[in-house]
Amino acid sequence: MKQKLYTKDYFIIISLFLLFFFEIIRIYFYSNGNLSTNMIYQEWLLRVFRDISLAVVLFSLMFFGVQEIRSKEFGLKQIVNPLLGIFLSISIFFLNWTIENKLNSLGKMVNDTTYLKRAEVALKNKQLPLVEHEKLSQVYAGSYYRMYGKSIEYVKGGQHFLYKPSQKDITLFQTKVEQEKLVKQMGRNKFLWLILIVFSFLLGILIPNTGIEPIHTPQTFL
């Protein structure tokens, strides 16, 4: 006889397929780190779809697991799926929390705010030699752009010029902006995995049993 498939099985199988599908595409096309603005958006969108698919997998494990406990006698077999869902959700929460902290630390290391303040004080020093002043002025303008994405004037040969960022400057600023967005996003989203646990269990308790009975399929005999 063919193996019976349940509603929960379809949820998990389809979600797992989409999870791997989106992640494989993301890694294959967008893993080199050298992304244009459109590619950054596309890569972010794939990560969103990947995380939604993963959330559906974990939700199915916990929600249908709770419903199975309600419909059958309580036993080890019945609690494996919800416990697995809880373990994976908490693991993802701590993983995101760890990555967020590391990115924050990295961001502080490459932050030019302290340098810019010191450079401003040095540029106001009237005793600074003209050659050093002009050199520092240009370095300051480059750091200012990499920090804030805005061009300011610098002094060269006694004349003022508007700083023109190089492609490297533009890339560094864009990378900084995307990193800050990622850190903020992870800071907000990491708690969703804990909320998912509560949400799944509440629905599993409150909603009438579903997905426990097998979906009717034609029977064949060997």
> Which residue in 124, 93, 107 sits closest to 189, CA to CA?
93
pLDDT attached to residue 37 = 58
Longest dimension (CA), the chain: 96
H runs (alpha helix) in 31-189 = 37-71, 76-109, 113-123, 130-148, 167-189
According to DSSP, the residues that pair with 159 across neighbouring strands are 156
Torsion of CA 149, 153, 155, 156, to 10 degrees: 80
The alpha-carbon radius of gyration of the chain (Å, integer) is 27
Are 143 and 164 found together in one domain?
yes
Q: pTM score, two decimals?
A: 0.61
Are 84 and 36 found together in one domain?
yes
Integer CA distances (angstroms), 20 to 11, 26, 122, 165, 172, in order:
14, 10, 54, 40, 31
The whole domain housing 91 covers 7-111+190-206
Are 69 and 130 found together in one domain?
no
Residue by residue, pLDDT tens for the chain (222 residues) are: 344 556 777 888 888 898 899 888 888 876 665 555 566 677 778 888 888 999 999 999 999 888 888 887 667 777 888 999 999 999 988 888 887 777 666 655 455 666 677 777 777 777 788 788 888 888 888 888 888 888 888 888 878 888 888 888 888 788 777 777 766 776 677 888 999 999 999 998 888 775 555 544 444 434
| 156 is a domain residue | yes
| 221 is a domain residue | no
Are 137 and 84 found together in one domain?
no
Total count of domains within the chain:
2
Are 92 and 48 found together in one domain?
yes
For residue 22, count CB atoms less than 10 angstroms from its CB and return exposed for 0-12, middle for 13-18, buried for 19 or more.
buried
**CA–CA gap between residue 69 and residue 71 (Å, rounded):** 6
